[in-house]
Structure 1
Amino acid sequence: MTRIWTSDMAQTGTPVPALRPTSAILRGGEARLLALRPGDRVTLRNLEGAQPVEIHGFGPPGSLQGLAATLSPGPALSPSPSAYRIPPAVAQILDMPRQDPPISATLFDAETPAGAAVTLEARADLFCLVAAPGRPMAPDAQDTPTDILVEILPIVERAGEIPPPLAPRVVAEVRIAAATASAFRVKAGQYIQIIDVDGRQCSDFLAFDAGDLAQGAEFGIDPTTTRTLMGSSFSGPGLHSKYFDARMRPLVEVVQDTVGRHDTFLLACTAKYYEDMGYPGHSNCTENFNRVLAPFGIAERKGWPAINFFYNTFVDAQDRISMDEPWSRPGDYVLLRALTDLVCAASSCADDIDPANGWVPTDIHVRVYDADSPFEKGSAHRMTPDAEPRMSRETGFHPRTSALTRTFEDYRGFWLASCYTDAGPIAEYWACRERAVIIDLSALRKFEITGPDAEDLLQRAVPRNVKKLAVGQIVYTPLTYETGGMIDDGTIFRLGPHNFRFVCGDDFSGAWLRDLADKHGLKAFVRNSSDQLHNIAVQGPRARNILATVMVTPPHQPTLAELKWFRFAIGRIADRPVLVSRTGYTGELGYEVWCHPQDAVIVWDAVMAAGAPEGLTPMGLAALDMVRIEAGLVFAGYDFSDQTDPFEAGIGFTIPKDKPDAYVGDAAIARRRDHPHRRMVGLDIAGNEPIGHGDGVHVGRAQVGVVTSAVKSPILGRSIALARLDIAFAEIGTKVEIGKLDGHQKRIPATIVPFPHFDPQKTRVRTEAPADAPKKGVAPDESPASTVIDDPRGAANRGV
């Protein structure tokens, strides 16, 4: 069988091989070592195109026979450490003595289209080093390294394999055969990994305080106490961050989860369930638990309340709990941390009479890791349903933000601060409106769009006239389906004649653009550079003063004082390369600073030092949501979705009537513009009752719309909202009511008003520097001056 060896598997000596699923992602700029057997096939798929791949095959002395006829013996293996990172355990293998030279090749080049693949076959037992070389990308460059999909087809069909350990120090391995259960001890601080071996298999989990058991008292996970303390509704399947016993003492906490769909409020399956379904005597988790827990003195039960990992339950429209096959894939897992000494039990659910386990129960595997294992908290995110999961990650600015707050949220796969300890959302809000704030927004997705047909691709993809976009200019735009519904919104940066950068919120936008290029035969590359560009926003009335003291630009670039709205400049901060754009998401004068993550801490420190005299304050997502609603800036999943067009999302200004070229969804959008059904409006709300996303808007008994975003505005002194209403009731001045409780028992009066509620003419964000402002930050002449075309008509009049 094919085996993959990774750096996580070595402790002090040669790594121990372990089996993984049949595909894995090789990240750009990294290397991966495979251990292959004769007949194993490896397919390397260039997911985004233009990414070279180095492959080196070698083995113990005398054992190397080659990978494929297309590869030939090469020089001694000495990959450049600056081109890709080699894990320590891999380096150990590379240093092993051998007689034969490696068989080496470089696959793919700068012209390789997205999706191109090469398949290689092993003809002997050998190691295979696969690398996707790439160096850190400068903010004004577009040579981002991208990911390679490694697909492995072993000569022997694989089943029942488990992924390699997440950390070196494994304390215990527990294999739980299908339809059985096992009990085991765990010490405080140790980590418990529950692995779904073959996918779509549920595993019930119990934990008891071991110290109390020794004294004859049973205290295990209590679902009701946990739900109460964690404030999670009964109808929300998923995992709590901690699980408590009836004394309100925490027993375990969730550290990592690659699935995101579990059950936390039903019993493990019982004999009664199968009896009622006509299967008396059927194996069940409750009786399996009773057997394995008896040696620990734990009393039997007719039904065990458990955490039902991977069990896909949901609440339907009639408030009934229903279920379907699990979302989990082979190798998916949940990682827990024991908060005290525990006796644990886990099962492989025995249910084979309904979809709970995909109709066929399979194995569960449990690993216990040492308490000193270096695990970070996170949940898995997938760009598309079939993509490899990627755990929540930290931004380049995290070393600084984490020193200022412990309140983070997982926003689109990155840990971003919700608020900061010294201030809090309200103080951060006022700092943005009165002085200046710095916000880590590195979770934004960035895509480099290059190639001779890059302009044609974007001209076809978006309603804005990209052909009129000047080098150095930015435009805000939606992406739409053929139906007119919105995929995403974002900003397009023009870096050169055939060079663009699209900044948006969703990974899928890049995949959609890539598919569009392929569909129309356009030679354009769409490559994800999100890990190469992290960014902070510096927003507020004093933002220009702060950045002007630290931003240095070459003569052919505008200074910060000269930088116009929706333009960008390339320069340096603290001698680190940056790109600074005059954009933002606050409705205030502001800028965004883009840099490589390795420079993020230095850039943060320089900006904070420059902003100290001006009262610069870090701001989190809670305050950001307040200012963006006041400014009428829309948010995906709240103010728009694939069911709403740009007019219904309140960004109809992005849709020209006279664009010369066709774009995706233009016919549907034209129909919707001529025959609108709904319109985005502003609401002024009477009183101080809390209003939220999803609240119905009524005229009499009929619901005529829905609140999309709402906030109690500090600067306006009243509650305001954005809402999407039926066109018949969307005129300014119309009186409506927001329904609470069942929508009828309680009504909150509101009035339709124009939006944005705050600074509707955008005077603050448009503010230009005084004509006599000093031209700070001009670097010595290093390159010939270049001409930047003036802002063309049709530029966006609203930032995002």
Structure 2
Amino acid sequence: MRTPVISRPREPALFARAPGLEHHRVAPGGLTVVALEPDDRLEVVDVEGDQPAELLAFAADGREALAALDLLGQAGADFIARLLASNDEEARHVRLGLGKRGIDCGHLPEAARLWSAITPAGFSRSLTAQAALLVVVAAPGSRTPVDSQLRASELRLSIHRANPGSLLLPTLPAALGEVIDEFTIHPGSARDYSVAAGQYIQVIDVAGRQCSDFVAFDRRGLDSGREIDLDPTVTRTLNGNAYPGPGLFSKFFDRDMQPMLEVVRDTVGRHDTFALACTARYYESQGYFGHANCSDNISRALEKYGVRGRPGWPAINFFFNTGIDAHQQLTLDEPWSRPGDYVLLRAMTDLVCASSSCPDDIDPANGWQPTDIHIRVYSEKERFSLAMATRKTPDADPVLTRESGFHAGTSALTRHFIDYRGWWTPSHFDGYGTLAEYYGCRERVAAMDLTALRKFEVIGPDAEALLNYCLTRDVRKLAVGQVVYSAMCYEHGGMLDDGTLLRLGPDTFRWICGEDYAGIWLREQAAKLGMKVWIKSASEQMHNIAVQGPKSRELLAQMIWTPGTQPALTELGWFRFLVGRLDDYNGCPLMVSRTGYTGELGYEIWCHPDDAMKVWQRLWQLGEPLGLVPLGLHALDMLRIEAGLIFAGYEFSDQTDPFEAGIGFCVPLKSKQDDFIGREALLRRKEHPMQRLVGLELEGNEPAAHGDCVHVGRAQVGVITSATHSPLLGKNIALCRLDVGYCEAGTRVEIGKLDGQQKRIGATVASGTVAYDPDKSRVRA
């Protein structure tokens, strides 16, 4: 007899799977406020190690209550008090919230220190509440010089609720600002509300995986008897999307082509196709007659305004996970949203709105269990940063898109930014344009904000051993002051990331890469091996700008001062770095590495974010006579493709090994004697290659694009990974992952367009992946 098969998927951070457990993040140098009930257990975790922790607790009457956690205040533990006394915008909101609870932030008591500063990664302390408490936990930190590795890092809070049965839903996230209206919408219902121009609407998925349909009408139009509502066709057309697709538009328009709403924040990143809200007809077609539906609920909510009811409402379907498959069929699955995820919108005119909490319980649309939606309306006086959210892991708290220390400089030159790995990064610059930026870098000198790169400090007596095990390069051969490019692979040989490793000292390294998860991966490997090593995130506290081009040395030689123990800028060798200062002995501390991503002579300057604008302004002061231009991502893509440099998600992924990605030179299988992760798999893959990365030169003026199929005859033998038009070479070029049988230089292939068969662009396999300056004489100059 067979026993029943039970579904137990791993679904991290979903409230329905663990209603008694909550997680919260304390940012480096920041604080977090949480509420505890009697007998709740609070666990404070030092994620990366060597991070102090401060805690204050308050009773319901606003009085200090550390004793209810068996803690005592300690002399000098005043980081929380100092932070709340600052002019920081977040501190202002926390002060406002604590003030409403009767807590005087101007006379805070001394906090408790939870442990000494010397702690291993993952160290934790558990505290049990003896009463209802409001708890403030901080991760103290101060400004750290760029050449120091003792940085503040995050803490993680886990709350184990003593009475999870009473928690039908998780607690609502803290308000973002001044709330002028808020309400909860229960499953199977809808609610109308009005917002004025400039006010903000926050749609919150309380428990996660719950859809909410949204419609809006121009209020002045309704007053005059006209129904002017959100229009999906107009919105898609004006945003340049011929077909619907997952995600939100930056602006939503009405049928008169006027803007109604703009999206300010989105912590999910995957929503609807702007199709219909659920209808009675949908449930009837599935055999569920009389089932509650969002369209009828919205019609009833809007009836008081004289709005004619509709059997199906075109609506923004927040948190609804739909897509268009390869056969142009609309698909749906469980939402991506987690507890507390939200969308924040700003009304661009006076609106009458309706929001629903979807009642769909017959398919995965609401995770099979409909829950609440919460709406908050904020004052038009508030100012919220434009942001999306990223998570290092599925159960991590979302981190909103950040602005680098150079943003004041770049934003003065352009409004064209994209969210690149969680940082606002310019795509191109007004008054210059992609082509001018490209030529500026190839012929003179260009500067680009590359703060989005992830930085990790790897320190301790086992630092070298860990990195030698986790990277493909032989780290033992890396000298102090030297930089090396390496791959980081999984056990099966697929690439986790690529990056550069800097050796600052015998036991101190800095890993620069693109992937947030790299730090977690390194920490996991160190724990498995029982190594004495710390991996500290430095991305927030170290920002960097690339200065690239034939005149980059001439420019930087005028502004980088170095002591006698360091090489002068003019003496700095390729893949070396120096520690110096801006202008002179008293200038702000900097690091300069002779590295880049353009195939030109170039450098990167690393500094504390507080010093970023000093560097930016000095660069422009000295660089304008040399023809300095700003450089955006679009021009950078042209430069790096010409130089044969690879990019994550294009030339490599976790299914691609370094040989297939064209960087087999960084896997010294013969000379590296020590074992490293993926070695056995890479030995097999090298002996039996299936594909290689090659360069292609295209015939004619029509370009290829990432993902285009590559054919010999009818059969597909490869795929385009990156492509561009090379202005200096005067032709279209591409990087291609190609079957090894067709990789010989001069082999003719065809790039498929349309369906791959109806249109072909002829191309020839080049002698290498580097189309411009193949012997790298410029970068080595």
TM-score of the aligned structures, taking structure 1 as reference length = 0.90
Matched residues in 2 for 1:344 and 1:605: separation? 46
Name which of 243, 250, 253 aligns with 2:262: 253
Q: CA deviation at 1:129?
A: 3.0
SS of 1:477's equivalent in the other structure is strand
Give CA-to-partner distance per residue, 1:645-697, whole Å, 9 cap, x none: 10110111111122110000011111111111100000000111121000011
Q: CA deviation at 1:64?
A: 3.5
Instruction: Tell me which residue corresponds to 1:379.
Output: 388
Q: CA deviation at 1:350?
A: 1.0
Name which of 224, 231, 234 aligns with 2:243: 234
Matched residues in 2 for 1:389 and 1:573: separation? 35
Matched residues in 1 for 2:709 and 2:81: separation? 58
Q: Contact between 2:79 and 2:140, CA under 8 Å: does it hold in 1?
A: no
Instruction: Tell me which residue corresponds to 1:695.
Output: 708
Instruction: Tell me which residue corresponds to 1:510.
Output: 519
Q: CA deviation at 1:510?
A: 0.9
SS of 1:113's equivalent in the other structure is coil
1:220 aligns with 2:221: no
Moved more, 320-329 or 34-43: 34-43
Residue type at the aligned position of 1:664: I
Spell out the pairing of 1:580-595 with structure 2 (5 A cutoff): 580-595=592-607
Matched residues in 2 for 1:159 and 1:115: separation? 31
Q: Contact between 1:74 and 1:101, CA under 8 Å: does it hold in 2?
A: no
1:682 aligns with 2:695: yes
Q: CA deviation at 1:109?
A: 4.0
Matched residues in 2 for 1:61 and 1:45: separation? 26
Q: Contact between 1:195 and 1:331, CA under 8 Å: does it hold in 2?
A: yes
Matched residues in 2 for 1:81 and 1:553: separation? 38
Moved more, 143-152 or 34-43: 34-43
Q: CA deviation at 1:358?
A: 1.2
Name which of 642, 656, 665 aligns with 1:653: 665
Q: CA deviation at 1:175?
A: 1.6
Distance 1:681 1:101, change over 3 A: closer
Matched residues in 2 for 1:286 and 1:56: separation? 48
Distance 1:511 1:622, change over 3 A: same
Distance 1:474 1:194, change over 3 A: same
Distance 1:62 1:353, change over 3 A: closer
Matched residues in 2 for 1:46 and 1:474: separation? 30
Give CA-to-partner distance per residue, 1:60-96, whole Å, 9 cap, x none: 5887371444x33544863377789862465685995
Name structure 2 gaps, 5 residues minimum: 1-18
1:420 aligns with 2:429: yes
1:296 aligns with 2:305: yes
Name which of 618, 629, 648 aligns with 1:636: 648
Q: CA deviation at 1:32?
A: 3.0
Q: Contact between 1:223 and 1:264, CA under 8 Å: does it hold in 2?
A: no
Matched residues in 1 for 2:553 and 2:84: separation? 38
Matched residues in 2 for 1:604 and 1:739: separation? 44
Instruction: Tell me which residue corresponds to 1:105.
Output: 112
Instruction: Tell me which residue corresponds to 1:66.
Output: 67
1:622 aligns with 2:631: no
Instruction: Tell me which residue corresponds to 1:51.
Output: 51
Q: Contact between 2:502 and 2:510, CA under 8 Å: does it hold in 1?
A: yes
Q: CA deviation at 1:37?
A: 3.7
Matched residues in 2 for 1:514 and 1:563: separation? 32
Name which of 718, 733, 743 aligns with 1:705: 718
Q: CA deviation at 1:565?
A: 0.3
Moved more, 533-542 or 154-163: 154-163
SS of 1:66's equivalent in the other structure is helix
Distance 1:370 1:560, change over 3 A: same
Instruction: Tell me which residue corresponds to 1:491.
Output: 500
Matched residues in 2 for 1:590 and 1:614: separation? 15
Instruction: Tell me which residue corresponds to 2:13.
Output: none
Matched residues in 1 for 2:279 and 2:80: separation? 58
Name which of 662, 677, 682 aligns with 1:664: 677
Instruction: Tell me which residue corresponds to 2:22.
Output: 22
Name which of 705, 728, 734 aligns with 1:721: 734
Instruction: Tell me which residue corresponds to 2:378.
Output: 369
Spell out the pairing of 1:179-218 with structure 2 (5 A cutoff): 179-218=188-227
1:528 aligns with 2:529: no
Q: Contact between 1:256 and 1:335, CA under 8 Å: does it hold in 2?
A: yes
Name which of 95, 119, 123 aligns with 1:116: 123
Instruction: Tell me which residue corresponds to 2:182.
Output: 173
Matched residues in 2 for 1:62 and 1:259: separation? 38
Residue type at the aligned position of 2:686: R
Q: CA deviation at 1:217?
A: 1.1
Matched residues in 1 for 2:84 and 2:477: separation? 39
Q: CA deviation at 1:260?
A: 0.8
Moved more, 52-61 or 273-282: 52-61
Q: Contact between 1:205 and 1:306, CA under 8 Å: does it hold in 2?
A: yes
Q: CA deviation at 1:35?
A: 4.3
Instruction: Tell me which residue corresponds to 2:140.
Output: 133
Matched residues in 1 for 2:522 and 2:63: separation? 48
- What number of residue pairs does the alignment pair up? 747
Q: CA deviation at 1:265?
A: 3.1
Residue type at the aligned position of 2:144: M
Q: CA deviation at 1:166?
A: 3.9
SS of 1:763's equivalent in the other structure is coil
Q: Contact between 1:312 and 1:356, CA under 8 Å: does it hold in 2?
A: yes
SS of 2:681's equivalent in the other structure is helix
Aligned-residue CA RMSD (Å): 2.2
Identity, in percent, stands at 53
Instruction: Tell me which residue corresponds to 1:147.
Output: 154
Give CA-to-partner distance per residue, 1:175-218, whole Å, 9 cap, x none: 21111001111111111111111111100000111111111111
Q: Contact between 2:77 and 2:113, CA under 8 Å: does it hold in 1?
A: no
Q: Contact between 2:190 and 2:294, CA under 8 Å: does it hold in 1?
A: yes
SS of 2:451's equivalent in the other structure is coil
1:761 aligns with 2:770: no
SS of 1:653's equivalent in the other structure is helix
Matched residues in 2 for 1:109 and 1:728: separation? 61
Matched residues in 2 for 1:572 and 1:450: separation? 23
Matched residues in 1 for 2:80 and 2:324: separation? 54
Instruction: Tell me which residue corresponds to 1:598.
Output: 610
Q: Contact between 2:80 and 2:138, CA under 8 Å: does it hold in 1?
A: no
Instruction: Tell me which residue corresponds to 1:737.
Output: 750
Moved more, 622-631 or 309-318: 309-318
TM-score of the aligned structures, taking structure 2 as reference length = 0.92
Moved more, 309-318 or 619-628: 309-318
